[in-house]
Structure 1
Amino acid sequence: MAASVKDVALAAGVSVGTVSNVLNRPEKVAPQTVERVQQAIDELGFVRNDAARQLRAGRSRSVGLVVLDASNPFFAEVARGAEERAAEDGLSVLLGNSDERSDRESAYVDLFREQRVNGVLVTPTTDDLAGLERLRDGGIPVVLVDREVDDGSFPSVAVDDVQGGRLAAAHLIETGRRRIAFVGGPLAIRQVRDRLEGARRAVEQHPGVTLEVIEMGALTVLQGRTAGQRLLERPLPERPDAVFAANDLLAVGVLQAMNIMAGVRVPEDMALIGYDDIDFAAAAVVPLSSIRQPARLIGSTAVDLLMHEVADPGGEHERTIRFQPELVVRESTAR
């Protein structure tokens, strides 16, 4: 039978209340008593019933994080940053993967509500934030990650994706490219739309440059490979001379289609740039140019902002944090 708080109190020669203080408020207990109680805990193998503690306290020692694609190295780095920062406050991170599906996002939000988390960090799949509004109105703070809302109704930590898209397209134009294809999707995802908008703004400033939009169903390597195959099915004069992929996974897939399946030379025949600057980008067969986002910093900053929201909901602290993207040039866009 598992040891109880009463067993620990009996072994240490203290009251149950003292054991509770050692577990939850050790600064209120004499150091000698804390040492004696801790020794009893170790000898008995006591493990606290955290579920019961959560019911009493009304909150757990965890925060929820929902990302679009947990297999994407960018979101893995965001989660790592969040986890490292949360650990500093004695919190754990519960990770949910929406897989770019709103129903899965809603299911995780409901689960986190049931778990009485301290707050939720989420990268929304759509512009419909009604479920997150209900969560917030129910007393659980919400911070948007890698996403903003125009009206500032939710605190957020993101990167200026419009600027990032502009940087990518402007770089391709500067290297002499004139027929650019934007491969991304679904366009229901705000980040994809913003990156496309930035590319459009850059193209509009250069007469004679065209921008074609190729919308795909997901931001994955497989979808990138499919997009690349579609481009290769066209007659040579109808192909673009550059591709801007909405993330690096798509760019890797396009590169596979070009180099492995058809022998198209990158960048000689077609330049290619991605977005996020994941480790795969630099390690690709042709190292990929990309737009860098500070993924781990986004995660840690989101937890910082969430802790401010927990301590002072709607307070005077900064609620919208926007980082600037950085162009990273590699062989895939060489002149």
Structure 2
Amino acid sequence: MATVSIRDVAALAGVSVGTVSNVLNRPTKVAESTVVKVQRAIDILGFVRNDAARQLRAGRSRSIGLVVLDVANPFFTSVARGAEEAADAAGLSVLLGNSDDDVAREHSYLDLFEEQRVHGVLISPIGDDVERLGRLHARGIPAVLVDRPTEDSRFSSVAVDDIAGGRVAVEHLLDGGRRRILMVAGPAGIRQVRDRLAGAREAVANTAGATLEVLSTSSLTVLEGRAVGEAIASRPAGERPDAIFAANDLLAVGVLQAFAFGGSVRVPEDIALVGYDDIDFAAAAVVPLTSVRQPSALIGRTAVELLLREGEDPDSAREHVMFDPELVVRASTDG
């Protein structure tokens, strides 16, 4: 079936193409009787306006691109929901891309968003190299870093103080009398992981007799956490840590599952456990999980607000919003 064009509408209504355009975009400038005729023709033909083409001719679409590290992580789902709420209030939509911790995929989404001339880009980047974002900036497409601070003056950012978050998590374990701390860390290339580890190390360094063992994982998933949990449970009891801090809740849930399935490690009696992000699964785990809460939806909403402000005044100083983390204590620790 052929696509109905604005010319077809004009022909059926007996008006010019310019009049149809005015009805669609500036109806107050057209006589009411003419608007009725054009609208009747639209209804008969089933005409659908091509907003995408119109927006591209104007030089900018009404969409915001959002690239997250892992769309399967409920933390990023909540960030996307917050961004969508703020975008919708501004008459914009959100296009979601999942980099899956893959730099090539991340760049592919940025290329796509650049081609589509999006209103702006929100991104939780994989590494520290933001030069690909610099090309967007040079083309007048603003970008805001999400869940990541930045020292680059070209970009605004919204983040949580992850160093403080790692510190408060491990301090809680130390305050409960735990001294053999193990951190289940994700890929070292992820800034958030490095910052949380730095905070954990600060807390341990300030406590006499405390030690910190670090086990890195290839990804921040439940399956990776379960593998780590199985490895820890297989150790002789005297060689296990007495507390674990996981770089995110998915890893912590995996560790908890391994302990529950194996039956040889009790949480928190044998090993206390703290996660990070406070996703919904944390409170619903078989042993409710102590976690460091991030205001995920607020992060998404704030990122859109920064993006819109930059769009209104491209020469304004970039803004860097840093939220404080909050420890939520549940049954997986002695606290």
TM-score bracket, normalised by the shorter chain, equals over 0.9
The sequence identity of aligned pairs, in percent, is 65
Contact 1:152 1:320 in 2 (8 A): no
CA distance in 2, matches of 1:217, 1:278: 21
1:55: which partner in 2? 56
Equivalent position amino acid for 2:275 in 1 = G
CA displacement at 1:298 relative to structure 2 = 0.8
Residue by residue over 1:232-290, the C-alpha shift from the partner in whole angstroms, topping out at 9 and shown as x without a partner, is 22221111001000000000000011111243110000000100110110111111010
1:108: which partner in 2? 109
2:273: which partner in 1? 272
2:221: which partner in 1? 220
* Structure 1 pair 32–238 and aligned structure 2 pair: CA distance change class (3 A): farther
Equivalent position amino acid for 1:322 in 2 = M
CA distance in 2, matches of 1:147, 1:219: 16
Contact 1:84 1:300 in 2 (8 A): yes
* Structure 1 pair 209–117 and aligned structure 2 pair: CA distance change class (3 A): same
Equivalent position amino acid for 2:103 in 1 = S
1:331: which partner in 2? 331
Equivalent position amino acid for 1:329 in 2 = V
Contact 1:166 1:199 in 2 (8 A): yes
Please state whether the residue corresponding to 1:275 is helix, strand or coil: strand
* Structure 1 pair 313–230 and aligned structure 2 pair: CA distance change class (3 A): same
Whether 2:240 is the aligned partner of 1:202: answer: no
Residue by residue over 1:144-183, the C-alpha shift from the partner in whole angstroms, topping out at 9 and shown as x without a partner, is 0100113443111111111111111111111111111111
CA distance in 1, matches of 2:324, 2:298: 12
CA distance in 2, matches of 1:89, 1:13: 36
1:157: which partner in 2? 158
Equivalent position amino acid for 1:47 in 2 = V
CA displacement at 1:18 relative to structure 2 = 4.2
Please state whether the residue corresponding to 2:118 is helix, strand or coil: coil
Contact 1:63 1:94 in 2 (8 A): yes
1:321: which partner in 2? 321
2:138: which partner in 1? 137
CA displacement at 1:231 relative to structure 2 = 1.3
Residue by residue over 1:75-134, the C-alpha shift from the partner in whole angstroms, topping out at 9 and shown as x without a partner, is 011111111211112211111100011111011101111111111111000011111111
Q: Which deviates more from structure 2 when the two are superposed, residues 55-64 or residues 178-187?
A: 55-64
Whether 2:264 is the aligned partner of 1:254: answer: no
CA distance in 2, matches of 1:4, 1:287: 58
* Structure 1 pair 103–21 and aligned structure 2 pair: CA distance change class (3 A): same
CA distance in 2, matches of 1:184, 1:34: 63
1:299: which partner in 2? 300
Please state whether the residue corresponding to 2:220 is helix, strand or coil: coil
CA displacement at 1:328 relative to structure 2 = 0.5
CA distance in 1, matches of 2:327, 2:29: 52
* Structure 1 pair 155–38 and aligned structure 2 pair: CA distance change class (3 A): farther
CA displacement at 1:334 relative to structure 2 = 2.5
2:80: which partner in 1? 79
Contact 2:142 2:307 in 1 (8 A): yes
1:120: which partner in 2? 121
CA distance in 2, matches of 1:22, 1:321: 43
Whether 2:72 is the aligned partner of 1:65: answer: no
Q: CA RMSD in A?
A: 2.0
Structure 1: gaps spanning 5 or more residues = none
CA displacement at 1:2 relative to structure 2 = 3.1
Q: Which deviates more from structure 2 when the two are superposed, residues 103-112 or residues 306-315?
A: 306-315
Contact 1:142 1:306 in 2 (8 A): yes
CA distance in 2, matches of 1:84, 1:30: 37
Q: Which deviates more from structure 2 when the two are superposed, residues 128-137 or residues 218-227?
A: 128-137
2:176: which partner in 1? 175
CA displacement at 1:205 relative to structure 2 = 1.6
* Structure 1 pair 10–102 and aligned structure 2 pair: CA distance change class (3 A): same
CA distance in 2, matches of 1:29, 1:84: 34
CA distance in 1, matches of 2:39, 2:90: 21
Residue by residue over 1:13-47, the C-alpha shift from the partner in whole angstroms, topping out at 9 and shown as x without a partner, is 65433433444456766788767655543443221
1:230: which partner in 2? 231
CA distance in 2, matches of 1:31, 1:75: 48
Q: Which deviates more from structure 2 when the two are superposed, residues 254-263 or residues 111-120?
A: 254-263
Please state whether the residue corresponding to 1:308 is helix, strand or coil: helix
Contact 2:78 2:296 in 1 (8 A): yes
* Structure 1 pair 112–240 and aligned structure 2 pair: CA distance change class (3 A): same
CA distance in 2, matches of 1:196, 1:27: 60
Equivalent position amino acid for 1:330 in 2 = R
